[in-house]
Amino acid sequence: MSLHVFASIVTSFGTAANNRAETEGNITTLQKLIWHGAAHSTVSAEAIRFALRRLLAIEEKKGTNRYWNEDARNNEWKDWTFQGWASDKGDTFIDDDLLGFMIAEAAKEEGGAGTATVRRAVLEITRAVSLTPWAGDVTFNAASPGATPSASKSEDRGKNPVPYGTEVHATRYQFGLALTPDRLRDKSRAAKAIKAICQLGTVAGNHGRFLFDFSPDSIVFRITEDPAPRLLYCFESGDNGKTVTAPILLQRVEDKDIKGEELILGGSFALSETARKLSEKGAGIPSPSGVKAAAEQVISRVNKLLGIKG
């Protein structure tokens, strides 16, 4: 049986905006979906992956294969043909190992078949969904005269403010992940992935108009041989996002679909009544009970199970 690491994460409470969907007139809209019958704002898994890759590029001495050039405003590659994967002992990059890749080539002759080299992501990430429904908040804004010349009429350029509206959502976001370390070329990268997830900062958004802390406020890890996560989107809030709880998770432990000892809890949720009940059923809560302490406990357990020293 393979070892699997699953996690359910909820962010701190903040105001999200400028996470663009389709722009309607001069209103910058939020991406939204219908969740349990109500409109919720959402952030794509690709946006989270993008932020994670930028963090890995800083933390990893070798860097990443794909990296974002802030000056040119585009992605640049060190090896876009992924030559390191041609042999079992080839030199590979951490982002390719964790997040996967694909290179597709068209047929060389008319009527022929194209080719694709694909590696599925080992670190899989769900779409983030707001913990609370979107109430329809929209702010009215006006760029100061001359701040956005391209948006002004030529004869009035620089003379008048430029009005625009922005959908905003005061909420938390929750998302989940799955990681199977045995599928990694370098299994020590599992620890680096866990650490990086707990250090996420800005995710999504355009330009520089808002800052939303996407690092975990609360996190539940599960280390198991069960291939099914069973804890994704387990967080709820009964007070409009002020605090979080996870009754579904507790029920699944009580129903023995999840073994309590497979769980490690961290962050503000670890101080809740639900966490206390989970602790009584074997869930681990570090002391201190913060997210980073929980991540270190997970890394220690995973490395021990994988036979990795240090």
Give the per-residue pLDDT at 207. 53
Q: Where are the domains of the chain?
A: 4-77+121-147+169-306
Q: pLDDT by residue (tens digit) across 215-247?
A: 999 999 999 999 999 999 999 999 999 999 999
Q: Torsions phi, psi of 94, nearest 5? A: -65, -35
Region 301-306: mean pLDDT is 96
Question: Which residues have CB under 8 Å from 117's CB, separation 6+?
Answer: 82, 85, 101, 102, 103, 104
Identify any residues that bridge with 264 across adjacent strands, giving them in sequence order. 221, 284
The pTM (predicted TM-score) of the whole model is: 0.91
pLDDT band at 209 (very low <50, low <70, confident <90, very high): low
> Which residue has tokens 């625009």?
164
User: Whole-angstrom Cα distance, residue 235 to residue 174?
Assistant: 7
User: Whole-angstrom Cα distance, residue 208 to residue 44?
Assistant: 19
Q: pLDDT by residue (tens digit) across 70-119?
A: 889 899 999 999 999 999 999 999 999 999 999 877 767 776 676 778 89
Give the per-residue pLDDT at 25. 63
Specify the amino acid at residue 95: D
> Which residue has tokens 């409109």?
39
Q: pLDDT by residue (tens digit) across 133-151?
A: 999 999 887 778 877 676 6
Question: What integer best gives the mean pLDDT of the chain?
Answer: 90
Q: Where are the alpha helices (DSSP H) in 40-188?
A: 45-59, 94-99
Residue 180 tokens read as 């199977």
pLDDT band at 307 (very low <50, low <70, confident <90, very high): very high
Specify the amino acid at residue 196: A
